[in-house]
Structures are given as C-alpha cells and as structure tokens.
Amino acid sequence: MDTLLEQIENGTLWQFPGGVHPPQQKSLSNHAPIARLPLPEKLILPLKQHIGANGQLIVSKGQTVLKGQALTQPSGNWSLPIHAPTSGEITNIAAMPSAHPSALPELSIILTPDGKDTWIPLTENTHIDTLSHQALIDIIHNAGIAGMGGAGFPTYIKADSQRPVEFLVINGVECEPYITADDMLMREHADQIVKGIEVMQQLLTPELILIGIEDNKPHAISAMQQACQHNKKILVKAIPTLYPSGGEKQLIRVLTSKEVPSGGIPADIGVLVQNVGTLFAVSEAVFAGKPLIERVVTVTGNTIKRPQNVWALIGTEIKHLLDSQGFEPVDAQRVVMGGPMMGFTLPSVRIPVVKTTNCILAPDNTELAEPGEEKACIRCSACADVCPQTLLPQQLQWFAKGKEYDKLEDYNLFDCIECGACSYVCPSEIPLVQYYRVAKAEIREQKIEQVNAERAKVRFEARKARLEQEQAERKNRHTRSPSRAAKPAAEKAKVADALSRVAKKQGEQSAVQAAIERAKAKKMADGSLEPDNSEVVLERAKRKEQARNYKAQKQTAEVNSNDNKSAVAAAVARAKAKKAAKVSETNDAGDAPVNPPAHAVATEKETATEEDPRKAAVAAAIARAKAKKAAKVSETNDTGDAPVNPPAHAVATEEEAATEEDPRKAAVAAAIARAKAKKAAKASETNDAGEGLANPPAHAVATEEETATEQDPRKAAVAAAIARAKAKKAAKASETNDASEAPVNPPAHAVATEEEAATEEDPRKAAVAAAIARAKAKKAAKLAQANEAEVNNTDSQPIRGTIEPPIDSIDAEQPATEVDPRKAAIAAAIARAKAKKKAKEQEGNDPS
C-alpha cells in the first residue's frame, strides 16, 4: 500500500463531510484585470487590524509622513505595526467606526494624502539565501503582514513555528461566491506568490508544499503550475468546487486526509496553511522592502456598473471604492463586507478597508433578498447534514437561546467555522450563525472575567501569605531560632573551651594587675611615690559647689514659704505700735499702764501665727479683747474697787487651750471672751454706783460655756448666743438695781444652766431656748421701762459703755456662722433685735 506522501503525489484527494453548492457569481468580476484607484481624500487607519495587541503610536497629530513609513511599533504579544499607505499629513488621531458588524469605534490615525505618493527609502533583497532565519522573521514582522484570508493571524508567528512542519498548504481555493481577488492575483502575480512560498519553505523546511485551487479557476491553476515548474516540492492541486472547501480544516482534509482535532490547530498534526494573498505580501516585503499598505479587493454586485478587482490602499473608505466603480444604490440597499455566506452587512459606507478585507458586495433586492421572519425549527436535520464540522446546529441554537454555555462547550461550539451553510439550507430561515457568534462572544467574556477573578484571588492569597509571614517574623524576631537551639554537642564543647581560655587569660591579667598595684602601694609607703590627688580635689570641689547651690535653693524656698507669715507678723507689729501709742498717752495722763507688757502679748500672738493663719486671726481678736478688759480693770482699780473677773492671764490660758484644738472652737471662745469683757465692764459700772453683784461671777459662766463648746461646734454657737443674751440681761438687771428695785427674773446663772442643759440635748431645743431667751429679754425691758417711769430722776447720767459690740468683735463672730447657715441667720436676727432694744433704752435714759 502506498504511503500518504505517495498518495498525495499521485493526485489522490479526500472528501470532507457536508458542504453546499451556492450559485456562482464570479464571472461578474474576473473578466477585467486588477485596477488602480485614485488617491482618496483621506485614509482611516485603525491601530488594530489583526489578531493580537495594538501597536504603540510613534507619530503625532500634524506630523508629515512618507509612503511606507511606520506609524506604530510592536508593543506586545502578536502585535503588528501599521504603515502610511501614501505620503501626507496626520490630521487627527481619534476613535473611528471599525470594520465590524457593530462598528464600535476604535483608535485610528487619519491621514490626508498630499498627492505626491513619495516613498521612504526601501531595502531590496535579491537573494534570500544570504539572510538568516531571524532576519527573515524580522522583515515579515516589521512589514506588518497578517493573514489576508480572513482571520488576520500574524504571519511572523506562523513563519517562526517551533514544531516540525510536514505539509505547507497554500490556500487558493476562494470558495465564496462573488469573490475573485485571489483568482485574479494568481493570474497576474503568480511568480511573486511562488517567491513568497519559497521564503516560507526556507523558514519551515516542509517535506511537501501543496497549493489547493478550486477547479472553477482554470486560468489561475495554469498560471501557478507554470510558475512552480522549477521547484519540485511544490504541487498544484485542483479540488472540486464545494463550499466551504476553502476553510483551513476542510482544505487540510481534502489534500492530506488529516483531520485537525477538536480545539486544536493545524500545527498539532504537522500542517501549516497560508493564503496566496499573504504570500504575495511576504514576497513584496522580503524582495522589494515594501510593507503591507494595500491589497486586492473585489468590488461587485448588481448595483455596481463596473464590478472589478482593485488595488485598495489600507484605510480607504468603502464609499470611495463604490464610487470609483459606478455604484448605483437601490431602495433598502445593503453593502456587505465579505461574501454572501460569511460576510456581514456594514452599518455605514464610511468604514475603512483593513488587511482582512477581500470583497465589497453591493447586491440589489433580487440578487440577495432580505431574510424573512424567523420561524420555528421543523427538525428537518438539513443543517446537520451540511455542517462541515459534523456538529449539531439545532442543539447549539437551543443552548445558545437558553444561554446554557456549559452545554454549548460540551457540544463543541468553538469548532464552528461560521461558514453559514446551516443558515443557507434552513427552511425556517433561522439565522443560526448569528446565535453562535453571540454565544461565543459571551463565553469569551465569561472566561476573561473568570481569569481576572482567578488572578485577583491569587494576588489576594499571595498578599495574605506575605502578611502572615511578616507577622510571624515579627513575633519570632527576638526568640531563639531552632538552628541555634539545636547546636550539636561538639560545637557547644568548642564554645565552652573558648570561654575557659578567655577566663584563664583574664585571670592571668588580673594577677599581673594586682602585682602592679601592690608595687605602687609599697612605693607610696616608702615615700618614693606620691599619690596624685588632683581628681579627688576636683570631685570635692564639685560636691561643695553642689552643696552651696542646694543651700541657696532651700533658702529661696523658705523665703517664699514664709511670705504669708511675714505678712501676719507685719500686721501684728502694726497693732503693737498702735497699742504702745495709746499706752504712752495713758501714762502721760498720770495713770498706771492698763494692758500687760507688749512682749507677752506678742509672744502669745507669734506662737499662734506660727501654727495657722486662721489661729493667728483668732489670737489677734483675743488680744484685743484682753486689752479692753485690762483697761476696764484698771479703771476699776482707780475707783478703789476689787476686780470682778479672774485675772486676764487665766482667761487667756483657757482660750488658748481651746484655740489649739479647733479653729471653730477658737472663734467661739473669742466671742465668749468679748461677751465676758462687756459683762465685766457693766459690772464695774455697777460697783462704781455702790451696788452689789446681781449675777454670778463671770468665770463660772465662762467655765460652763467653755465646757459646752468643747463638746460640739453647733452647741458652742448656741452657747455663744446664750452668753450674749445673758450679758444683755445682766446689763438690764444692773439698771434695775440702780433704781433700787428687786430683780423680777430669776438669777441669770439659773436660766443659763437650764438653757445649756437643753442645748446639750438637741440643736432644735437650743433654738427653742434661744427664742425663750429673747422673749424673756423683751419682758425684762418692759419692766425696766416701767421702773424708769416711776423713778425718772434717779440717775441723770447716761449708761457708760457702748450699746453695740465693736466691729472687730462682730468680725470675730463670723467663723461661728460656718457651723450652720440657718442657725447663723437666727443668731443675726437676735443680734439685730437686741441692738434695737438697747438703742431704745439709751433714748429712754437720755436726759434730754
């Protein structure tokens, strides 16, 4: 049995499944040679005209360019540059409608030709044998050549295949009705196409090169056979006319009997396919140095007066091609880019020609009728019978309508070549290919989203792992590493030996140092060496300086702390000066000194001020009271009477003892002292008149009051108020005795005893007792007025002494109000009532 290669050489052909026979309309455009068109007004050059990444712009708006000059440069995988189709100016770079059924805008360069059509300097090559493999690949890459059969795959990728190529298949079938671009190119430029084939042969080194051409193109077949006579590895094969035999997978099956696996590419089975138009562009780039700036386009249809193939510059608007060939539109005119089977209707004739454009079809309404309304599938299986990929178009359409993308992939949707044979034979006029195109686009978008999500997940997990590692490193930064903890015993022994040697060496050094110190001490004992005490002297001087500074700071602090005591002492000194002046006035009048020695009073006051400023104020008030009492005692001595009260120093001793216990008690004691002084003054007046004592001795009353004040501050305040009431009552009683009347009320000490007993029990009872005392005082006043009316001429002299207590004594009473605000208010009201009563009594005694 012959091998596959022998079968191919013997002219054996195979058949692919399915296929249709649409009516041929190639005779409209293949009777005239390829024409040259005049320069258009502008050229629109999309940056992306191929499968892969866009090129990077290297021109700017307003720049002048030459024909063949690169406008972009490759910037990524499968990226190709584009070139200026003619010389002119870059008038704009903006988004323009693309050559796509959606006409979505794409970034494009707008070039305005200058009419000169000036080329850049070209690099020609006559012999490719002198060029290396990489040099040929770079020439093809920089020329911007992409597959011109419809897919737009970058040619340099296929030319640099790393897989062994057994068969190089040249596609000259051109199975679409109406299209004759490849047919006319093979007729007119067969030699250039063969040169391009030889370039690919040098790059790929295939075992055999097969050129497939449909048998409806006899002129092209003969032209290619004649051009290939010198190359024994090139075989021209005429295949039967059947659509879609021009498909890549179908042509491989017909010429080699090999079948491309599902989801695979021809390189997987050792086959590579190139279009005749692509090989012509390779020949132009390698031998003439021209980039891909133009291509052959079939302009045909019943609305075209001169249907013909033309050389169209890349970027020429479709309208310019139609107008050049005498376009006469009809109602509901359609313009199709591509053939009637696989082409698409253009939304506008302002769409530019790109590298994959091979036909512009402008049919009338009878030539290519409008598709009718879609009807329900009748399950005739005609679509499955004509499918060249042996798919199930009916099932795919159901899954596409239901958006069951997983099932679509299970039924090999992406094996569909979108040939349109299924739609062509469908009696229900279902646009099956449109459903497949939409489903493919949605599945691609889903996969892109999934890929992006996976990448984001990987980045997130990597970041999380990095953060956890950094956190663990921070925690373990100060801990002993396991490697250090797991040191072998031998290494530990070495470390111990080293440490022992160091210790031994240090011990030897310490012994030497001790010997040196002993020698120095011996020399010092002999007197031969004097010690250096300079450092000791400096340290001693520093310590002395620090001591002086500390002493100065302490003195400053003491001065600041004694500012308040100094102010009090100054006030006491001023009081002493005033008192001394009064004493001197008294001595000038021939009297004996009334007050005790000033140094004794000063000593008592200074002792009090050293303890507390408040106690100092209380002591000052006590001193003033003592001075007044001493003055009254001296007056009594002048009249030859005995002192009524105990000695002042005894009273002072008791008051000082009280003030040392509590400031509040001290204030109460001061108030009691003032009351005693007033009572003593009144008693002395009574003695001057030759009368006896109406009340008990003052020291007894004071003793009782002091005992009460030592128990409770509140009781002390009540006791003070009672004492004031007693003093006023005693004064009234003395007035009654002056009038030779018997006392109306019981003795004051009895009343005081009862009131004090009540106050010791409860503060409320104390308030009641105070009210009773006020009532008694009013009653005594009325009785005194009655007695005075009877004996009006008994005494014509006013009562000596002041009616109201001195202002300083009132001030001294203020600390007592701190005990309770309510009781203080009551005491103040009592004091005002007493003052008014005394004023009335004085008016009654006034002889006027």
| 648-707 pLDDT per residue, tens | 443 334 444 334 445 556 556 666 767 676 676 665 554 444 433 334 444 433 344 443
Q: Once rounded to an integer, what is the mean pLDDT over residues 435-454?
A: 92
Of 350-359, 508-517, 633-642, 837-846, which gets the smallest average pLDDT?
633-642
Q: Are 770 and 764 in contact (CB under 8 A)?
A: no
750 and 617 both lie in a single domain: yes
170-176 average pLDDT score: 94
In this structure, the answer to whether residues 144 and 275 fall within a common structural domain is yes
Angle (nearest 5°) at CA 185 between 181 and 187: 120
What total number of domains does the chain contain?
A: 3
pLDDT at 639 over 70: no
Judge whether 396 lies within some domain.
yes
- Give 660 or 187, the one with higher predicted confidence: 187
Note the pLDDT of residue 803. Answer: 37
CA 246 to CA 275: how far, in whole Å? Answer: 10
Degrees to nearest 5, angle at CA 623 with 617 and 626: 145
Domain range holding 449?
Answer: 371-474
Write down the mean pLDDT value for the chain.
77
Q: How far apart are CA 665 and CA 717, in angstroms?
A: 9
Q: Which of 692, 677, 670, 577 shows the shortest CA–CA distance to 631?
A: 677
Predicted pLDDT at 654: 40
Domain limit, last residue, from 289, 322, 356: 289
CA 144 to chain centre: 49
Query: Is 359 flagged in the annotation as binding?
Result: no
Which residues, 6 or more positions from 212, have their beta carbon under 8 angstroms from its beta carbon?
Answer: 169, 170, 171, 172, 173, 237, 239, 245, 251, 254, 255
Report which secondary-structure segment, H or E, holds 295.
strand 294-300
The Cα-based distances of 248 to 272, 415, 547 in angstroms read 9, 12, 108
Under a CB-based contact definition with an 8 Å cutoff, are residues 315 and 357 in contact?
no
Looking at residue 313, its pLDDT comes to: 96
In a domain, 688, yes or no: yes
Among 626, 627, 629, 613, which residue's Cα sits nearest to residue 663? 613
pLDDT value of residue 100: 85
| Residues 29-72 pLDDT 10s | 999 999 999 999 999 999 989 888 888 999 999 999 999 999 99
Peptide bond into 244 cis (omega under 30): yes
Cα–Cα nearest to 197, from 260, 119, 283: 283
Q: Is the same domain home to 718 and 602?
A: yes
Residue 600 has pLDDT above 50, yes or no: no
Beta bridge partners of 65: 88
Strands 208-214 and 234-239, bridge-based pairing: parallel
Task: For residues 421-450, give the mean pLDDT.
Answer: 93
Which residues 6+ apart lie within 8 Å of 418 measured at CB? Answer: 342, 433, 436, 437
Higher pLDDT, 214 or 571: 214
The CATH code of the domain that includes 156 is 3.40.50.11540
Q: Is 228 annotated as a binding residue?
A: no
Strands 88-97 and 167-171: unpaired
- The answer to pTM > 0.85 is no
Q: Is residue 431 part of a domain?
A: yes
**Residue that terminates a domain, selected from 426, 449, 474:** 474
Query: What is the distance between the alpha carbons of residues 441 and 652, in angstroms, rounded to a whole number?
Result: 116
Distances (CA, A) of 569 to 319, 577, 667, 778: 119, 12, 20, 45
In Å, the largest CA–CA distance within the chain is 181
Higher model confidence: residue 554 or residue 86?
86
Supply 427's token pair.
């009696």
pLDDT number for residue 646? 40
Q: In sequence order, which residues have a C-beta less than 8 Å from that of residue 705 and are 6 or more positions away?
A: 672, 719, 720, 722, 723, 756
Domain-located, residue 492: no
| Residues 2 and 10: beta-carbon distance below 8 Å | yes
Does the annotation list 419 as a binding residue? yes
Is residue 608 in a domain?
yes
CB burial of 119-144 (b: ≥16 within 10 Å; e: otherwise) equals ebeeeebeebeebeeeebbebbbbbb
Q: Provide the residue count of the chain.
A: 848
Hey, what amino acid is at 133? H
Residue 52, SS3?
A: coil
Q: Which tens digit of pLDDT belongs to each residue from 460-508?
A: 999 999 999 998 888 887 665 555 555 567 777 777 778 887 777 777 6
Percent with pLDDT over 70 in the chain: 67
Alpha carbons 32 and 309: distance in angstroms, whole number: 8
Instruction: Compute the distance between CA of residue 777 and CA of residue 407 in angstroms, rounded to an integer.
Output: 121
Residue 224 within any structural domain of the chain: yes
Report if residue 496 sits inside a domain.
no
For residue 819, what pLDDT is reported? 47
Q: Do residues 241 and 386 both lie within one domain?
A: no
- Cα(643)–Cα(654) distance, integer angstroms: 19
Helix/strand/coil for 134 = helix
Q: How confident is the model at residue 560 (pLDDT cuts 50, 70, 90)?
A: low
- Measured CA to CA, the distance from residue 798 to residue 783 in angstroms comes to 19
304-308: which pairs have CB atoms within 8 A and are 24 or more residues apart? 304/328, 304/362, 306/32, 307/28, 307/29, 308/29, 308/32, 308/34, 308/35
Q: Do residue 277 and residue 376 come from a single domain?
A: no
Q: Give the whole-angstrom CA distance, residue 55 versus residue 647.
A: 124
Amino acid identity at 413: L
Question: Is the residue at 833 inside a domain?
Answer: yes
Q: Is 383 annotated as a binding residue?
A: yes
DSSP, res 86: S
Nearest to 322 by CA among 32, 37, 86, 30: 37
Residue with tokens 């691609």: 444
Residue by residue, DSSP assigns 389-454 as T---HHHHHHHHHTT-HHHHHHTTGGG-----HHHHH-TT---HHHHHHHHHHHHHHHHHHHHHHH
Sheet with 35-36: list strands edge to edge: 35-36, 308-313, 294-300, 359-361, 336-337, 344-345
Look at residue 426 in the predicted model and tell me its pLDDT.
94
Q: Closest Cα to residue 287, out of 140, 147, 152?
A: 140
Tokens of 491: 């290494």
Rounded Cα distance between 105 and 71, Å, is: 19
3-state secondary structure of 343: coil
Question: What mean pLDDT is predicted for residues 757-784?
Answer: 61
**pLDDT bucket at 714, cuts 50 / 70 / 90:** low
What are the φ/ψ torsions at residue 423 (nearest 5 degrees)?
Answer: -65, -30
pLDDT tens digits, residue range 329-387? 998 889 999 999 999 999 999 999 999 999 999 999 888 877 788 999 999 999 999 99
Helix (H, G, I), strand (E, B) or coil at 95: strand
| Judgement on whether residues 280 and 388 belong to the same structural domain of the protein | no
Please write the tens of the pLDDT for every residue from 254-307. Answer: 999 999 998 889 999 999 999 999 999 999 999 999 999 999 999 999 999 999
Task: Write the single-letter amino acid at 131.
Answer: L
Q: How is residue 329 written in tokens?
A: 């539109």
Q: How far apart (Å, rounded) are the C-alpha atoms in residues 47 and 49?
A: 6
Residue range 519-531: average pLDDT?
A: 59
- Place 773 in a pLDDT band, splitting at 50, 70 and 90: low
Amino acid 843: pLDDT:
66
What long-range pairs does 71-77 form, CB within 8 A, spacing at least 24? 71/45, 71/109, 72/47, 74/141, 76/52, 77/52, 77/53
Using the Cα atoms of residue 269, residue 274, residue 275 and residue 276 in order, give the sign of their dihedral. Answer: negative
Residue (of 675, 716, 682, 685) closest to 817 by Cα position: 716
Q: Is the pLDDT of residue 749 over 90?
A: no
Q: Are residues 379 and 259 in the same domain?
A: no
Consult the annotation and say whether 175 binds a ligand.
Answer: no
Q: Which of 262, 266, 261 shows the shortest CA–CA distance to 412?
A: 262
The 3-state DSSP composition of the chain as helix, strand, coil percent (nearest 5) reads: 55, 10, 35
| CA-wise closest residue to 694 among 683, 684, 704, 680 | 683
Please report, for residues 151, 207, 245, 473, 634, the alpha-carbon distance to residue 172 in angstroms, rounded to integers and kept in the order given. 15, 20, 10, 67, 155
Q: What dihedral angle (degrees, nearest 10) is formed by the CA atoms of 384, 386, 389, 391?
A: -10
Min mean pLDDT across 86-95, 251-260, 464-473, 755-764 is at 755-764
Res. 573 pLDDT band, cuts 50 70 90:
confident
Q: Is 377 annotated as a binding residue?
A: yes
- Shared domain for 380 and 256, answered yes or no, is no
| Final residue of a structural domain among 440, 474, 508 | 474
